[in-house]
Amino acid sequence: MTCNKSSADYSAMYDLKRCLKAQWILPFIAALVACFIIITGLQNSFWFKESFSDRASEYIHILMPSARRVTFIMIGYILMGALTAVQSLSFLTSVKQCNVYLSMGITRKQLSKNRIFSTLIYLAIFSAVPIGASLILNAAKLSVTGELIFAALYYFLALFAGAVLGFGIGSVFTVSVGNIFESLVFSFTACLMPMILTACIETTFTYLVNGAVFVNENLGMNGGFTDFCSTLSDKLLLFDPMKYLEAVEGIGTKFASGTSARTLWASDWLPTIAFLIIGVLLVALTPELLKKRQAENAGMFGMNKGAVYFGVSVVSLAVFAFSGSMMFYLEKAAVYALCVLLPPVAALIFIAIIYRNKKDIAKGLKAVGAVALADALLLGICLTGVFGIYTAVPDIEDIAYAYVSPAASDFITTFSNSGRTEEFMSEVYGKFESEDDLKTVLSVHEKVKDNLGKGNHSSVCFVYKMKNGSEIVRYYRDVSDEAAKESLKVVETKWYRDLVTDLLTNDDFDAVKAEEELSNRYDEIRDDYRSLEGAEYELKWNTLSLYTQYCGETAITNSTLSDGLPLSEIMTKAQQKQFRQCLAQDITSMTAEDMFFNPSEPLYYLNFYLDESWFPDSSFNLIYLGRELVPVYESMTNTVNFLNSFNLGLKQLTAEDIRSLQVLPLEDRFDINANVNGSVHYRLDMTVRGSYKSAEYETGMTVYGDGFEYCTEITDKAVIEKYLSAQRAVACFIGDNGAFVKFNLKNGTTFVGYLSESVIP
Amino acid sequence: MIEVKNLTKKFGSFTAIEDISFSVADSSVYGLIGYNGAGKTTLLKCAAGIYRTDKGKVLLDGENSYDNGEIRQGLFYIPDDMFFISNATVEGMARFYKGMYKSFDTALFEKLLRVFSLEKDAKLRGFSKGMKRQAEIIYALSCRPDFMLLDEVFDGLDPQKKEICRNLFLEYIADSKCSVIISSHSLGDLANLCDHVGLINGKRLTVNCCVDDIALMNKKFRVLFSQSIPKERLEVLPVKNLQVQGPVATFHVLGSDNLKKVQTAMQALPVSEITPAPLTLEEVFLSEMEAQSNDLQQIFG
């Protein structure tokens, strides 16, 4: 037998051929699933475009389906990459296979190189397959353009980068640990690490610090801010391979469609390139690690102490965060005890699973002790509010401007005849720039941070842009009723009053031009969309929506919403303008108390409609000033006097018109609809709306039981009369255990109102 | 030629083998013996380049075997725990070795299949342990290696197949320059195959000699004294397996130096008759293991 280099090359070549035969299966399966997801997703998208749009511009190339599907594909490819690594290097975890492979005429480096090379080829091929399928579908449906092909390359690279990253992580762990179980567990954990870490930090802050110093996307934080502020996930975007494609989802599609003149931005490529580089570095590290690997580790548990400590850290941190989340169900003391006790127990169980013998488990007790100590320390830090950082209110001199998401707008629950209870996203108020406005914001902030954790689960969020360019986020998860009420004072600011005045009195507003300007602005800030610049942009969009709404038709109704008419039927254009000025004067002189908790019965309700003539195909999501109906109280003298000069002729509903009523206590309502609402604790702001002109809101809504079917019908005239005068079609309440009342009219219609706790016997 | 030089292998804080040195010349077979867990497999794995040594090295024709693809092209290691590709047939596995060893001799493979009456398309997973061994030996010989490392290679073979294998190995070694290290518990198997043996005891190589020298260097004695002699007088001598019954004493003496010492000592004792006989390999092994045997005697009273 000749022992020479050519013989070694012969073995290496044969080994490579074997790898090429064996490594295609997992990438192939992943590509099949991705193709299925993409093809079905695209079919839906194309069908939707064809069915609901007759504008040529809507027929655009779509390379990827929805963000959720994209994320699913991305996660699938990363995990597939890791799984392929485990599969290809699994011979290292078997004593029998090590005996053969490591004793033959091929070096460890060559063995790993062959597996890496063959896998990378398949990862590239099967990353291209789903994108290619999408490309063909688009080409068949529309046309082939250079932009389309370039955008397809962009998506291909993103998928490939994810798969390579997963493969790199899987390779490093498989080469470093003893057996398949550990390589799978540690590889998957490492791939999911950014997601786990973000969730743990968010959960820990939300429940144990009672808030956050960052915007929290997932855990009940005010919705408004999460739309356009950088969340922790955003900040960690570069470290979360699972989510980055979701974040840049649509970029390629927009580019492929050629609807925008812009090219892909450097930042669009950044995560892809970064993950590809990290993946390649990890892959390159594998042959070196394999060279140093002790073959005797094959099949053994706990041979890599670094990996074990990594696992212990992740498990204990996750259990610590989980323990903190029990705050919703348990007493504080019990939660704190869990936070200190559960993670060491989890760490011990993890160590027992990994080592599986008493001697090594005993050695691992040191790690358990360290976990207990770290937990106590972490809990201590949380209890001090991260050393007081999260309760710190900035100095007015340092603030450039601020935004507030008040508790009152946390969730607005609309109760309609359809029986649907719907939660609207909260609104963000601002930007507050003047000294007086900032003083108001800071006083609200002071009040809120001094009244935390009182159990009604209202949350308030402040975002400050500092003069030095930094951004301060203060989110308080659970504030008292007083603090929640205090936060409504944002409507007493100059910013709010200027906005209302402008909305109601600006005749020169050009919505089309404003929309165009905003579109251009989007292209400028798209790169930094989830930032305060993004917030400003978003608020302008909302304001634009408001303008179009207030420039449209205004309807007026009686207090039971049973009769109404458009103002255009009784007023000239000039009179309508005058009416709006009166309304602006009254609203801007109201306090928050007058606006939200006015004890008197409204004389009328006003309803503003979008001026659809401006945007015939508009997909505007109408934004209201916190309420769908604007109540007109007797104290709004300018408005009331002006209206009184017209013969409105609105017929008021009387007890004679009503056959019966049913009363549904608020808590019962929440209990019944828990599956729909799931938010018993959002009790501050409740809008109750009757049936008048509500058809557009009922369209397409899922109809659930409204809860009244369980209530007795009351026909007593005295009760009907009493409840009729006491009901409110729009009701804001706090700490009020009132009830909903449903009036069944003799003409067969119904309407629903809210009764305060003080009215119900 | 295989040269094991000052080989030490540790697993964590546990030392499996320590400072072991020996060499195996071309066309010769080195038998490795030792009790269970003595470190025979560890030594073979170090020689095969699977384990990295902590000290010392194993040279194959002067080149370090660890992670050396070129030199290991000429090495075939049959482990005690055999590996076959899942669901592979006899021929399928041969294709694997043919791919990995350029020197694989297909004609020889087919000849050997006939010798062992194994079917080409039979699935290996359906084979008994002995049949798997036969297949593994066929693959090893078909690769025409320059170095063979055989770990308990006769384990599971019936006497007839053992004999066939032994003859095949001897024939192959005679025809080639192949150096072989073979470990086995069946000392009889080694005696008829090896020209050198090494005994690992207490992590070290305590016996390392030519098989032919064993008879000369290791003997058992039956001594008839003219009168009863206290056991203590003989215990001071470098003997093993000492048994005294009245005027008759039997013992083993290992090593030529010890033989000289004992023969000199006997001259000072009232010996009537002394009957020396050569020790078998098994008796040498058992004599070396005497300490362990004593332990067992203590355990079972």
CATH code, B218? 3.30.70
Last-in-domain residue among B153, B181, B202? B202
**B73 contact residues in A (CB cutoff 8 A):** 1-4, 7-8, 11, 105
For A597-639, the pLDDT digits (tens) are 788 888 888 877 665 554 444 433 333 323 356 788 999 999 9
- Quick one: tokens of A38? 């993409």
pTM across the whole model: 0.74
The distance of A78 to chain B (nearest Cα, Å) reads 28
Q: Are residues B12 and B122 in the same domain?
A: yes
3-state secondary structure of A666: helix
Average pLDDT over residues A195-199: 84
**Sequence-ordered alpha helix ranges (H) in chain B:** 40-47, 69-72, 90-100, 106-116, 129-142, 159-175, 187-191, 211-217, 231-235, 256-267, 281-288, 290-299
* CA gap A438, A433 in Å, rounded: 6
Q: Are residues B120 and B25 in the same domain?
A: yes
Lowest model confidence (mean pLDDT) among A103-112, A125-134, A528-537, A687-696: A687-696
Q: Are residues B87 and B133 in the same domain?
A: yes
Residue B187 contacts residue B285 (beta carbons within 8 Å):
yes
Which residues 160-189 of chain B have a CB within 8 Å of chain A?
A: 176
Average pLDDT over residues A202-226: 64
Q: Does residue B269 sit within a domain?
A: yes
**A94 contact residues in B (CB cutoff 8 A):** 83
Q: Are residues B178 and B224 in the same domain?
A: no
Q: How many folded domains does chain B comprise?
A: 2
With CB atoms and an 8 Å threshold, state whether B52 touches A3: no
Residue B71 contacts residue B63 (beta carbons within 8 Å):
yes
Q: Are residues B190 and B293 in the same domain?
A: no
The residue ranges of every structural domain in chain A are: 12-202+222-299, 521-644, 655-755
For A541-591, the pLDDT digits (tens) are 767 766 666 667 788 888 777 788 888 888 998 998 899 899 999 989 998
At residue A174 the predicted structure's pLDDT band, cuts being 50, 70 and 90, is: very high
* CA gap A373, A689 in Å, rounded: 54
ipTM of the complex as predicted: 0.85
Mutate which: A103, A113, A114, A296, vs B, most B CBs within 10 A: A103
- Residue A431, preceding peptide bond in cis (omega within 30° of 0): yes
Q: Are residues B153 and B244 in the same domain?
A: no
CATH code, B178? 3.40.50.300
Domain that holds residue B240: 213-299
How far apart, in Å, are the Cα atoms of A123 and each of A239, A240, A685, B169? 21, 20, 53, 46
Residue B80's Cβ-count burial label (10 Å; 0-12, 13-18, 19+) is: middle
Q: Are residues B190 and B245 in the same domain?
A: no
Using CB atoms, pick whichever of A1, A6, A14 lies closest to residue B74. A1
Q: Does residue B294 sit within a domain?
A: yes
Q: Does residue B129 sit within a domain?
A: yes
User: At which residue do the structure tokens 């039997």 appear?
Assistant: B250
pLDDT at residue A229 greater than cutoff 80: no
Q: Are residues B152 and B253 in the same domain?
A: no
At residue A700 the predicted structure's pLDDT band, cuts being 50, 70 and 90, is: very low
Tell me, yes or no, if A99 comes closer than 8 A to chain B by beta carbon.
yes
Q: Does residue B7 sit within a domain?
A: yes
Q: Are residues B283 and B143 in the same domain?
A: no
Q: Does residue B162 sit within a domain?
A: yes
Residue A555 contacts residue A632 (beta carbons within 8 Å):
no
The distance of A88 to chain B (nearest Cα, Å) reads 14
Give the pLDDT of chain B (301 residues) as one tens digit per residue: 899 999 999 998 899 999 999 999 999 999 998 888 889 999 999 999 999 999 999 999 999 888 888 889 999 999 988 899 988 999 999 999 999 999 999 999 999 999 999 999 999 999 999 999 999 999 999 999 999 999 989 888 888 999 899 999 999 998 888 999 999 877 777 777 888 888 888 788 887 888 877 777 888 899 998 888 888 888 888 888 888 888 899 998 888 888 889 988 888 888 889 888 888 777 777 777 665 554 445 445 4
Q: Are residues B163 and B24 in the same domain?
A: yes
Last-in-domain residue among B202, B228, B263? B202
With CB atoms and an 8 Å threshold, state whether A11 touches B101: yes
Q: Are residues B258 and B280 in the same domain?
A: yes
For A435-478, the pLDDT digits (tens) are 999 999 999 999 888 887 665 566 788 888 889 988 888 888 77
CB count in 10 Å sphere of residue A306: 10
Q: Are residues B269 and B189 in the same domain?
A: no
* CA gap A386, A208 in Å, rounded: 10
At residue A685 the predicted structure's pLDDT band, cuts being 50, 70 and 90, is: very low
A94: region left, alpha or beta (phi > 0 left; psi from -120 to 50 alpha):
beta
Average pLDDT over residues A162-188: 94
With CB atoms and an 8 Å threshold, state whether B143 touches A6: no
Q: Does residue B207 sit within a domain?
A: no
Crossing angle between the packed helical segments A180-208 and A305-325, to the nearest 10 degrees = 30
Residue B22 contacts residue B16 (beta carbons within 8 Å):
no
Lowest model confidence (mean pLDDT) among A331-335, A527-531, A644-648: A527-531
Q: For chain B, what's the residue count?
A: 301
Q: Does residue B238 sit within a domain?
A: yes
